[in-house]
Amino acid sequence: PTAGQQPAPQAAAQQPQADAQPQPGAAVEQKRDMAQSFRQCVETLSHAEREYYKFLWLQSGGDGNTLQGKAAFDFLSKSHLPRDILKRIWDLADWQKR
């Protein structure tokens, strides 16, 4: 359609839906991508950095590979980072939105 015209009903029906549900394999793909990205990041760390982050993980109260919500909140709050930065960290870390 030209400027000011409404799209024809067929064209409107063919436009992608904003709230379309992700494909079933999308979560698996996203998890795989994040794991690969994490491994690449870890590979760039020095030995001292790895040991320091292991120490922090032990201090955080993490169990295995996860850090539950309350423990994560308590640990990150100790950083005294501004609230907006903590929110960004939380949003990145909580990629499954739990």
**Residue spans of beta strands (DSSP E) within 17-98:** none
Percentage, residues of the chain above pLDDT 90: 13
User: How far apart are the C-alpha atoms of 36 and 57, rounded to whole Å?
Assistant: 20
pTM of the entire predicted model:
0.51
Instruction: Please state the rounded mean pLDDT for residues 19-48.
Output: 76
Q: Which token pair is 11?
A: 């064209």
Name which residue leads in pLDDT, 66 or 26.
66
How far out from the chain centre does Cα 9 lie?
37
Give the tens place of pLDDT for each residue, 43-90: 899 999 999 988 988 888 877 778 888 888 888 889 899 999 998 888
What mean pLDDT value characterizes the chain? 75
